[in-house]
Amino acid sequence: MSPYGLLPFRFVRFDAARTLVVNEAGEHQFLENDDFTRFVQHELPADSDSYLDLKAKHFLFDSESLAPFELLATKYRTKKAFLEGFTSLQIFVVSLRCEHSCVYCQVSRVSADRVRYDMTEETARRALDLAFRSPAPQLKIELQGGEPLLNFERVRQIVVEGRRRAAEEGRPVAFVVTTNLALLDDDMLLFFREHGVFLSTSLDGPEELHDANRPRPGNDSHARTIANIRRAREALGHDRVAALMTATRRSLQSPREIVDEYVRHGFTSIFLRPLSPYGFALRSARSTGYPMREFLDFYVRALDHILELNAAGTFLVETYAQLLLTRMLTPFTTGYVDLQSPAGAGIGAVVYNYDGDVYASDEARMLAEMGDTRFRLGNVHRDSHESIFGGATLRTIVAASVAESIPGCSDCAFLPWCGADPVHHYATRGDLVPHIPTSDFHEKNFFLFKHLLSLYERSPGARRIFASWIRSGDAA
């Protein structure tokens, strides 16, 4: 028997026979329950496989060398590397106007003729000033709405001016326009091609479902979306057009059909997203909403179908699973702000509203549109970069989103892979700190971590597919 010390870890009884242990750097190991007991009682034989695995993954140390601590610290710094870049994602809401009437819309949209809800040239310029004050080594500028193509003049200004500033600084910048595509014309496509702009749109599933979720005048939302996806791909390149879906109550009955619609139209990824508790989505929750348990049932059925398609030779990534798996199975973090601790609200992403108000996240802006401006950081016309990004509001958000200090999160085995979202918790419970037993954020992530790990452990086929998803994320 060799004496050894324990390095920090968390654990959970994964099933009747096994305990999962996870260290601070996110490395994990399954132990038979008897081995776990021997491990924590310092009685694990030094020549056992479990001992050697735990030593290699920095759960224990058996010498006076500092190397295990230094290696663990290096891995921990890698997991927290997202903190180095600060606000790399800069979101510009160029208009609240929209000609769609989506049943789950998170935004307090206004009719297409109300131009006073458009971002002005001066507001865009001041927002760009702040965006380029960010110390991030590279920037992503995302233009949203409403429907941003209704204020295409501002889209053009931000892209052209942003490209010029980035070139002067020698700093890479990427542009994404989040649009329903219905108003896309040839001049816009030419501009997007010249400036290397990516497009992100919504595709909720087959025609009947998509049109029910995303109605517009003429009842041709799906037809326009599909036609303009094809046009955009021809003009910009296949990989320059992405889509995502939002699951309403109606969607939950059609997991296979939704997945098949993405395959039918040549997509290689799908992001299965639940409803969010903001804006019009909250007002229509009685007709479109559902408990998180029902979404997770939908998710499992959809994921099973996606895995079947991959096994049969059709490559299709479920994006949220890809994000979770990257955090679970690699040393690296992801740019997804809700899976970070502290959360990326304000320090990883920031939102400039059409009127110049600055918010820590898109969700914070949506709360403001509902009348609650608690998470407003300032205004581009009145406040400095220092007061916006160093003020009390952002400091409070960051402090409240350190999962390591949140009751119920701090001792969770999945903490190194998860994060906190104080804006979500405030919107759903009126408190920045979650009540874990009733948190749908916790319910979703806790379930999915266990489900994905179970698939990975018991199915060599799923393991190979998951590895291919992680590699495709690295390549992207």
Listed residue (27, 68, 62) closest to 44, CA to CA: 62
The pLDDT of residue 456: 96
pTM over the 0.75 mark:
yes
Residues 127-139 have pLDDT tens digits of 999 999 999 999 9
Residue 135: count other Cβ atoms within 10 Å of its Cβ: 9
The residue written with tokens 């406040």 in the block is 383
The pLDDT of residue 363: 86
Q: How far apart are CA 380 and CA 132, in angstroms?
A: 13
Listed residue (346, 381, 386, 385) closest to 90, CA to CA: 346
Higher per-residue pLDDT: 282 or 414: 414
Residue pair 200/176 in contact (Cβ under 8 Å)? The answer is yes
Mean pLDDT for the stretch of residues 260-284: 81
Residues 43-87 have pLDDT tens digits of 999 999 999 999 999 999 999 899 889 999 999 999 988 888 789
**Tokens found for residue 90:** 């800069």
* pLDDT at residue 115 is higher than 80: no
* pLDDT at residue 219 is higher than 80: yes
State the chain's mean pLDDT as an integer. 92
Where do the domains of the chain lie? Answer: 5-79
